[in-house]
Amino acid sequence: MHTFSEGTPGRVRDLVDVVRGQISREIFVDERIHRLELENLFPRAWLFVGHASQVPQPGDFFASWMGSDPVLLTRDDAGKLHVLLNSCRHRGMRVCRYDEGNTMRFTCPYHAWSYSIDGSLVSTPGDLHGVPQLKAAYSGKLRKEDWGLVRCPKVRDYKGLVFATWDTEAPEFDDYAGDFHWWLDNLADAFDGTEAGTEVFRGVQKWRIRSNWKLVSENFLGDTYHGASTHASVEAVGIGPGGRGKRRHGERPNEGGFSRGRFKTSFRLGHGASDNLDYELPYPEFAEQPLNDYFTEAWNTRKAKLDKEARPLGGRGPATMFPNMSFSAGFPRTILVAHPLSATETEVWRWYLVDKAAPEFVRDWLRHYYMRYAGPGGMTEQDDMENWDYATQASRGVVARRYPYNYQQGLGEEVPSALRQAVHSHHAIAGEVNARAFYRRWSEFVDNLSWAELNKLAEVDDRATARAQG
């Protein structure tokens, strides 16, 4: 196993050995590798920026991050979404330090360059509009159209989930997501199957951890192995829909825990889910009858609709869309983004989704459940943070770095999938197939392979077939 402690970085692919199931600790702690991630991965990947329901009106904005860069998600006067770099083109001042609000013009406090998202004032929303002393300073030679806020060339509103990429050469969003879109559909569609029938509660939880961002992505990508130990205390107490003494996700007792009939799904594109589309986990059994009635009806409505479309009912995650957007599309239903700050620091953001049409008592129950489950105050997630932080700390030592992490669960036992560019693993709980694919894809990006190479590598997932032929 290579280490990375001296000299210039070589290929990070040499640090990710998916054949033997060993991954160097360097990729979780080394600042030079982190620099390469920021340069070669985050500006090229499709990243989750925010939810369309956060900016419903013209002029609404939501401040977000894409890798190392602050951005503004805005809606122009024609209703179109934009993602703009939140940095003045003159001296770089962050033109907007508000988290959210409504304005048709961002005016930099430093020298008052102003940028408009009103299409009647500028040809492209986000363009430079006002420049103090324009004529005197530039003799009329400043080409304002060249100095607008830097914009994301590609923005996609996928059923309210807003993604963007800086890379004009990146594949279209649908190709980047691939068949993983079924999980995004379940996240964005309402509990009764209504397409794009969700919105987010107001309030994004944001907090800092002293961990590498990839440990967070990996945790939701398919690490169902950690639950029994990490979350033993919440399972002992019972914080789920069924009340005390019941499972935290609300599985019904006749469902064989959380694993019967369940496979993991791993995409060559790096995405991963803890379940498969045929794994039909009905909605939970609630302690309160009105909630049972509501969700039973929602399940039946959804089942009838999806059966008609010949669409399977499963696929609720937890899951991670490569590289840093994780989510659960069931109980709870929430999106997490792990924003990288340094090799060993991450800012975690959580959004919580709810059906637009949900009655008040359902909204209220879900909101309370979400807050006691997830985020820094969440009884489940609190223990995850302890692990990520101290795993990072204890992996920084000179000796520790010499020893790779073990990713050998279910090694070489991938099975083919009917989904494109994907395989499954029968190792429903203790299986690391998703993590191996995630880190392989990560290394291909960080080594700065061209899009032609990246696309070719991901064309077919040969993990299952290669083994059958071998």
Partner 1 sequence: MAIDESAVQRLLLLAEVTDFLHREADLLDERRYEEWLSLLADDYQYSVPLRMNVRYNEVAEREQTKAGEEICWFDEGKETTELRVAQLATGKHWAEEPVSRVTHLVTNIRLTSTELPEVEVSCRFIVYRNRVADESDFLVGRRRDRLRRTGDGWQVCRRQLLLDQSVLLAKNLSVFI
Chain residues that interact with partner 1, rule: CB under 8 A: 97-101, 201-210, 230, 232-234, 236-239, 244, 347, 352, 363, 367-368, 370-372, 375-377, 379, 381-383, 385-387, 389-390
Q: Looking at the DSSP assignment, which residues form a beta bridge with residue 340?
A: 346
- For partner 1, which is the closer residue by CB, 239 or 313? 239
Name which of 176 and 365 has its Cβ closer to partner 1. 365
For the CB of residue 201, give the shortest distance to partner 1 in the complex, in Å: 5
β-bridge partners, 335: 327, 351
| Contacts of residue 406, Cβ cutoff 8 Å, sequence gap at least 6 | 21, 22
CB of 379 to partner 1, least distance (A): 6
CA separation for the pair 48, 127 (Å, rounded): 23
Q: How far is the CB of 31 from partner 1 (least distance, A)?
A: 19
Nearest residue (CB) to partner 1, 371 versus 449: 371
Residue placing its CB nearer to partner 1 in the complex, 16 or 337: 337
Q: With respect to partner 1, which residue has the nearer C-beta, 237 or 466?
A: 237
Whether the CA torsion 73, 204, 445, 457 is positive or negative: it is: negative
- What is the residue-wise DSSP string for 46-81? -EEEEEGGGS-STTEEEEEEETTEEEEEEE-TTS-E
Q: What is the dihedral of CA 216, 221, 226, 230, to 10 degrees?
A: 40
Q: How far is the CB of 127 from partner 1 (least distance, A)?
A: 23
**Dist. CA 465–CA 416, nearest whole Å:** 7
| Cβ proximity to partner 1, 10 vs 238, nearer residue | 238
| Distance in angstroms (rounded) separating the CA atoms of residues 160 and 62 | 14
* φ, ψ of residue 422 in degrees (nearest 5): -145, 160
CA distances from 327 to 162, 305, 321, 415 (A): 14, 24, 8, 24
Least distance in Å: CB of 366 to partner 1? 11
- Closest distance of CB 246 from partner 1, Å: 12
CB of 6 to partner 1, least distance (A): 27
- Compare residues 22 and 393 and give the one whose CB is closer to partner 1: 393
- Residue 245 burial class via C-beta count within 10 angstroms: exposed 0-12, middle 13-18, buried 19 and up: exposed
DSSP of 258-298, one letter per residue? TTTT--EEEETTS-EESS-TT---PPPPPSSHHHHHHHHHH
Q: How far is the CB of 249 from partner 1 (least distance, A)?
A: 16
Q: What is the spatial distance between Cα 111 and Cα 372, in angstroms, rounded to a whole number? A: 45
